[in-house]
Structure formats: C-alpha cells, structure tokens
C-alpha cells in the first residue's frame, strides 16, 4: 500500500466521520466587540426595516437599496470571521432582501444576547 494516511469509514454518507463542532465564542478583543456592536446598531438604524428573531435565528429585513444590501453583506461576512458558529446568509427575493444569522443548538443564549444588542 502506498500513498497518504489511511482513514477508516467512508468520506461521505451516513457513516462518515463527524467534524468537531465550532466553539460558541467570539474571537474579537473587548474594545473591538464594543465597536462591532456599534456597527450592528448603526446597520439596524440605517438599513433595516424589521428585526425578526426566533430561538435559533434572527432576520434583518433590509431597506430596498443596494447600499443597505452591501452594508449588511459586509458586516455579516466580518461577523462570520470572528463568530464562526453563526451561519450567515443573504436572502434576495422579489419583494424583500434580508440578512439572516442562525446558530446551532446550544448557542441560543449567544443569539439572544446578539438580538438584545440589535434592539438596544
């Protein structure tokens, strides 16, 4: 046998090996977290028409402008870099645009704190 290391089990399918979950943590320093919080509040004030929150997700319905969409996409991408446990998506429909952030089971408390920041 030649080549690289041998692993057991299939690479895909129901028997594939599981990946360790992403830690529910933010990698920003305290001062940067404060600044980021201000960025989120500013985005909500300038670009969102609604903040719809559930147990595992929050959806920021955006104003119908390219500037709002670009600002939301930029901030969402930067948030994903420091808070890898967030799943960040953009919805673009005929009647709406939205930035959606969701969390895995066990991260509901972190999302609730984030939603409180958005609404403060």
- Any residues with CB less than 8 A from the CB of 108 and at least 6 apart, and which? 55, 56
pLDDT given for residue 23 in this prediction: 84
Neighbours of 85 (CB within 10 A): 18
The answer to whether the beta carbons of residues 73 and 92 sit under 8 Å apart is: no
Q: Is residue 34 part of a domain?
A: no
What range defines the domain where residue 74 resides?
A: 50-119
pLDDT given for residue 11 in this prediction: 46
What mean pLDDT is predicted for residues 1-9?
42
Q: Is residue 77 part of a domain?
A: yes
pLDDT given for residue 8 in this prediction: 41
Q: Is residue 4 part of a domain?
A: no
pLDDT given for residue 22 in this prediction: 83
Q: Is residue 80 part of a domain?
A: yes
Q: Is residue 55 part of a domain?
A: yes
Q: Is residue 114 part of a domain?
A: yes
Q: Residue 110 maps to which CATH number? A: 3.30.70
Q: Virtual CA dihedral for 86, 23, 27, 74, nearest 10 degrees?
A: -20
pLDDT given for residue 77 in this prediction: 97
pLDDT given for residue 28 in this prediction: 93
Q: How confident is the model at residue 7 (pLDDT cuts 50, 70, 90)?
A: very low
* pLDDT per position as a tens digit, 61-94: 999 999 999 999 999 999 999 999 999 999 999 9
pLDDT given for residue 6 in this prediction: 39
3-state secondary structure 49-90: EEEEECCCEEEEEECCCHHHHHHHHHHHHHHHHHCCCCEEEE
Q: Is residue 26 part of a domain?
A: no
* pLDDT per position as a tens digit, 32-60: 999 999 999 999 999 999 999 999 999 99
Query: What is the number of structural domains in the chain?
Result: 1
The answer to whether the beta carbons of residues 101 and 73 sit under 8 Å apart is: no
Question: CA 41, CA 119: separation in Å to the nearest integer?
Answer: 8
């Amino acid at each position: 046998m030649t080549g690289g290391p041998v692993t057991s089990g299939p690479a895909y399918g129901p028997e594939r090996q599981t990946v360790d979950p992403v830690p529910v943590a933010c990698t920003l320093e305290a001062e940067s977290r404060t600044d980021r919080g201000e960025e989120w509040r500013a985005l909500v004030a300038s670009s969102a028409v609604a903040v719809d929150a559930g147990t595992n997700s929050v959806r920021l319905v955006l104003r119908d402008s390219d500037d709002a969409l670009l600002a939301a996409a930029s901030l969402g991408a930067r948030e994903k870099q420091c808070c890898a446990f967030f799943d960040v998506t953009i919805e673009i429909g005929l009647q709406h645009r939205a930035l959606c952030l969701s969390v895995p089971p066990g991260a509901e408390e972190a999302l609730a704190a984030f939603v409180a920041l958005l609404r403060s």
